[in-house]
Amino acid sequence: MINLHSHSFLSDGAFAPSELARRFEDKGYTILGITDHIDISNIEIVIPQLVKVCAELNKTMRIKVIPGAELTYIPPESIADAVKRARKLGAKLVLVHGETIVEPVPPGTNRMALKAEIDILAHPGLISLEEAKLAAERNIFLEISCRKGHSLANGHIVGIAREVTAGLIIGSDAHSLLDLMTPEMMEKMGCGAGLSKEELDMSLENARRLAEKIL
C-alpha cells in the first residue's frame, strides 16, 4: 500500500520523519510521501532537510520514503513559481493544499495549482467541473482525503472526477497518531467516498504508478 500525503514535525505533524516512516512501515505500507506544509517562509529549510533524511532512511528501511512538499496558503498567482522552487530544492512529490471546505484557502488556488507542474491537488473541496477537466487534461491527480474535515467533500470530488475521467488518489494526510490508519481503512475511506471496486483499484494503481515514476 502507498500513501503519498503525510506530515512530520518539520511542519505541523507530530512525528520526526524517521518515526513517521517507521510507523507507516509497521502498518504494512511500502512507499510513503512526506509532504510537509511549506510557503516562502520555510521552503528553503524544510525541503533540503527532507531530502537529506529520506536519503538516509532509504538506505536502511524496507519502506521507501519520498521527499515532497505541500504548498499551503500560497497566493494563487505565486503557486507556479513556488512549485518550480520546490522542485529545484529537491522535492520529488509536489502537492498543493486545495480549496477544502473547512479552511479559508484563497479562492483561485485550485485553478492556479492545476496550471502548475504539480502531482496531486490535495483535498480540493467543491472543485468545479472545469477545474476537474483541467486536472484530467494535465494528468494531475485529485485527492480523496482521509483527514477529518477535508473528507466531507469526498463524495463531490468522486462524482465530478467521474464525469471527466480525472484521476484520483487516496491520501491519509496524516499529522498525528489518530491519522495513522491501516491500508484496509484507507481503502474503506475510498469506498465510503463512493468509489466502485474498479475505481478503488484504479486509485491504488494511480498511486503506484506515480510513486514508481518518482522513484
> How does DSSP assign 154-200, residue by residue?
HHHHHHHHHHHT--EEEE--B-SGGG---HHHHHHHHHHTT--HHHH
Per the CB < 8 A criterion, the answer to whether 101 and 93 are in contact is no
* 74-120 pLDDT per residue, tens: 999 999 999 999 999 999 999 999 999 999 999 999 999 999 999 99
* 41-87 pLDDT per residue, tens: 999 999 999 999 999 999 999 999 999 999 999 999 999 999 999 99
pLDDT at 27: 96
* 139-189 pLDDT per residue, tens: 999 999 999 999 999 999 999 999 999 999 999 999 999 899 999 999 999
196: β partners = none
pLDDT at 14: 97
Q: Please give the model's pTM, rounded to 2 decimal places.
A: 0.97
Q: Domains in the chain, start-ordered, CATH in brackets?
A: 2-214 (3.20.20.140)
Helix (H, G, I), strand (E, B) or coil at 132: helix
Q: Which amino acid is at 180?
A: L
- DSSP H or E segment with residue 129: helix 129-137
Q: Which residue has the cell 492556479?
A: 112
